[in-house]
């Protein structure tokens, strides 16, 4: 969709989606396929870079099928990731995505693909579904009436023209530093979560269907084999560790590679093909996700720690649940937040518990005694490593993960099936 160069443009839609990452593109696609008139605005032009470990959990794959985007993402070169190798405190373990109790892995692998490739494909998929997409248009503020009900957004295009978008429902899918969440007054900085990430990619460092996570006291490196024979490398550090040394990004990245022997060895002889880009501090959460006339989805709801690689699943699953709720809400005349109660219930079941487990794992790994003990067990018991890795696969519910028989079996397993 192209904009005529004008000073002020007014547009209307049933639903205005702010942000064209996985959460926004997926929400818009589901709605458009149900016959809803959707306008999506993104501040950037695609393909655009997004700092990410670029790993997608196995449970994302059925969600991509639902979006009818599975084949296209596979054909773009998404690499199969069958499990993870975990390194830390002189020990190592290898876990695969396996069935957990009664929970069956939908497919025995996840995928890894460069985010600029994946996100552009999802946005194209939204366009084909009938979504009107405006790229290079930044939302500046949310418009509300005197009762607080959201009426749409004001935005500015790259050519300087301003847009006034009116919509029955406005969706904030605008990521970690969501303008929509901030304007609605629900964004909070959580100092306990403050992290900095440095991301880049290498050629010539093969990983053979396994991602790797290398833990150390101040953070971790995550490596994933992506399309084009590249390896995506993320360094996630506590803000303190990053600020303590006050080095430029690329020097800080190189210094940490030197300090972690397994990463140094893995990248020896490989060539860095991307700049080292930084993102952080990453520490946002929100106090509310639905409003009269609006909702938040994906990272706009709050930061998903990248350690377990679940952010894309949260975005796609959240989108699917929000679209289902919105379809019902649009059938009525009102735009009360109560109509989105099923979405909130879905989040409480599918997203909040997983995000909580991830936070616990992050906190545990920052306690050296606990982390050392965990690695001792993981190395000695392959079944336990399978279980730990499967937790990040997003197919097992916490209920399943808490069943004693699941743990007894994992402890007893001396060798992987």
For ligand FAD, the binding residues (CB under 6 A) are 18-24, 41-44, 50-56, 138-139, 173-175, 179, 197, 199, 234, 279, 282, 298-300, 304, 306, 309-313, 315
Min separation Cβ 304 and ligand FAD, Å: 5
Pairing of β 137-144 and β 83-88: unpaired
Q: Report, in Å, the least distance between residue 360 CB and ligand FAD.
A: 18
Minimum distance between the CB of residue 133 and ligand FAD, rounded to whole angstroms?
11
Q: Which is nearer to ligand FAD, 83 or 306 (CB)?
A: 306
How far apart are alpha carbons 359 and 305 in whole angstroms?
7
Asked if residues 21 and 175 have their Cβ atoms less than 8 Å apart, the reply is yes
The two tokens of residue 24 are 């926004």
**Cα distance between residue 363 and residue 351, in whole Å:** 18
Q: Which is nearer to ligand FAD, 88 or 219 (CB)?
A: 219
d(CA 360, CA 345): 22
Minimal distance, residue 333 CB to ligand FAD, in Å: 28
List, as own/partner pairs, every contact residues 396-403 make where C-beta atoms lie below 8 angstroms and the sequence separation is at least 24, other chains included: 396/100, 396/101, 396/103, 397/103, 397/353, 398/353, 398/354, 398/357, 400/100, 400/101, 400/102, 400/103, 401/100, 401/101, 401/357, 403/101
Cα separation, 379 vs 368, whole angstroms: 16
Nearest CB to ligand FAD, comparing residues 100 and 355: 355
CB of 280 to ligand FAD, least distance (A): 8
> Rounded CA gap, 135 and 12, in Å?
17
Strands 55-56 and 110-112 come out as antiparallel
Closest distance of CB 127 from ligand FAD, Å: 15
CA distances from 163 to 37, 177, 355 (A): 18, 21, 36
By C-beta, is 53 or 383 nearer to ligand FAD?
53
Beta carbon nearer to ligand FAD, 54 or 350: 54
The smaller minimum CB distance to ligand FAD, of residues 293 and 306, is found at 306
Please say which residue, 48 or 327, places its beta carbon nearer to ligand FAD. 48
Q: Kindly tell me which of 63 and 330 has the beta carbon lying closer to ligand FAD.
A: 63
Which run of H or E residues covers position 357?
A: helix 352-365
Nearest approach, Cβ of residue 211 and ligand FAD (Å): 8
The rounded distance, in Å, linking the Cα atoms of 30 and 43 is 21
Least distance in Å: CB of 243 to ligand FAD?
17
């Amino acid at each position: 969709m192209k904009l005529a160069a004008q000073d002020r443009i007014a547009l209307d839609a049933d639903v205005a989606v702010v942000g064209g990452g996985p959460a926004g593109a997926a929400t818009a696609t589901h709605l458009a396929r149900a016959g809803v008139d959707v306008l999506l605005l993104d501040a950037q032009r695609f393909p655009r870079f997004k700092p990410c470990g670029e790993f997608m959990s196995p449970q994302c794959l059925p969600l991509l099928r639902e979006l009818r985007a599975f084949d296209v993402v596979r054909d773009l070169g998404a690499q199969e990731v069958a499990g993870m190798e975990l390194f830390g405190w002189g020990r190592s373990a290898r876990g695969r995505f396996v069935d957990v109790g009664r929970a069956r892995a939908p497919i025995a692998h996840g995928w890894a693909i460069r985010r600029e490739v994946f996100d552009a494909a999802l946005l194209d998929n939204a366009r084909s579904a009938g979504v009107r997409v405006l790229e290079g248009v930044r939302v500046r503020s949310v418009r509300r009436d005197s009762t607080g009900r959201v009426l749409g957004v004001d935005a500015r295009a790259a050519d300087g023209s301003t847009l006034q978008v009116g919509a029955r429902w406005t969706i904030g899918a605008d990521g970690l530093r969501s303008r929509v969440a901030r304007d609605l007054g629900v964004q909070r900085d959580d100092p306990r979560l403050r992290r900095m990430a440095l991301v880049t990619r290498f050629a010539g460092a093969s990983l053979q269907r396994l991602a790797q996570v290398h833990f150390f006291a101040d953070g971790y490196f995550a490596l994933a084999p992506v399309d084009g024979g590249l390896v995506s490398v993320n360094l996630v550090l506590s803000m303190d560790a990053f600020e303590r040394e006050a080095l430029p990004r690329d020097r800080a990245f190189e210094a940490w590679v030197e300090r972690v022997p397994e990463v140094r060895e893995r990248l020896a002889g490989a060539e860095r093909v991307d700049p080292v880009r930084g993102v952080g501090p990453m520490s946002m959460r929100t106090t509310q996700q639905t409003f009269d006339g609006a909702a938040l989805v994906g990272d706009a709801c709050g930061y998903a720690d990248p350690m377990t690689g679940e952010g894309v699943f949260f975005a796609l699953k959240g989108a699917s649940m929000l679209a289902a709720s919105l379809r019902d809400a649009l059938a009525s005349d009102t735009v009360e937040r109560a109509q989105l109660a099923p979405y909130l219930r879905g989040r409480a079941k599918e997203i909040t518990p997983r995000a909580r487990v991830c936070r616990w794992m992050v906190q545990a790994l920052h306690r050296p005694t606990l982390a050392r003990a965990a690695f001792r067990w993981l190395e000695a018991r392959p079944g336990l490593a399978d279980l730990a890795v499967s937790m990040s696969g997003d197919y097992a519910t916490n209920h399943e993960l808490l069943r004693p028989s699941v743990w007894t079996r994992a402890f007893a397993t001396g060798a992987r099936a």
